Amino acid sequence: MTEQTGSRRVVTSMNLSLDGHYDAPGAPTDMRWVLPYAVTDVARDHMVSLFQPATTALLGRVNAEGFLGFWPTIIGAEGVDPRDEAFAKWLVATDKVVLSSTLTEAPWERTSIVDNPTADVVDELKKQEGGDIVVFSSASVIKALLAADKVDRLALMIFPVFLGGGPRLFGDGLPAGQWELVSQTAGDQGTLALVYDRVR
């Protein structure tokens, strides 16, 4: 069920290490620290809870190339977890907006390429009918939305590892504000799924 015009939420989702980083130092494409935890029930159920109410995926170019290069390939594959396949089918079928100043046309179905400030793109999307606008793991997009105070729901997966460095999601200078914890789930491998709503 989708939400009505003007009430669309902007939902952002990011995986973080226990010491607060989303990428290993100097190795932004090295996801080995994520993989053991991304396949847990907590992580998969967390992902399902985020994409089911959403009708638009907002992605940065690098994230789009990674997601759309991988997820469609698992559809129909033997042994795939049903939750992973459901996400893959949703990603293919849903409307996708990719923020890029270098792409001129989309190589993916149901995809628009936009070269405008992130906050402006979200303002336009929120005027349209539909469900949630969700951002999965696009750090540059999420940072821009946090800086502009455009995030309505902040979803975090905390994994029990120290990366010892690397980029952080939360830097100095973010708008002051309060967040309400609406969901918390702990996994038996030490993972923690947290969902916060912005109090306005």
74-87 pLDDT per residue, tens: 999 999 999 999 99
Q: Determine the average pLDDT of the residues in 153-160.
A: 97
**pLDDT(64) > 50:** yes
Give the Cα separation of 4 and 107 in Å (integer): 30
**pLDDT(5) > 90:** no
Query: How far lies 33's CA from each of 73, 77, 115, 181, in Å?
Result: 22, 24, 32, 26
Helix (H, G, I), strand (E, B) or coil at 194: strand
Provide the whole-model pTM.
Answer: 0.92
31: tokens are: 């996801």
| Strand 153-159 versus strand 10-17 pairing type | parallel
* Domains of the chain and any CATH numbers: 10-128+147-199 (3.40.430.10)
SS3 content of the chain, % helix, strand, coil (to 5): 30, 30, 40
33-52 pLDDT per residue, tens: 999 999 999 999 999 999 99
DSSP for 41-87, please give it.
HHHHHHHHHHHTTEEEEEEEHHHHHHHHHHGGGGTT-TT--HHHHHH
Q: What is the pLDDT of residue 27?
A: 80
Enumerate long-range contacts of 167-171, CB under 8 Å, 24 or more apart. 167/21, 167/22, 167/23, 167/28, 167/139, 168/20, 168/21, 168/22, 169/14, 169/16, 169/20, 169/22, 169/139, 169/142, 169/143, 170/20, 170/146, 171/143
Neighbours of 66 (CB within 10 A): 16
Q: What is the pLDDT of residue 104?
A: 84
Q: What is the pLDDT of residue 7?
A: 82
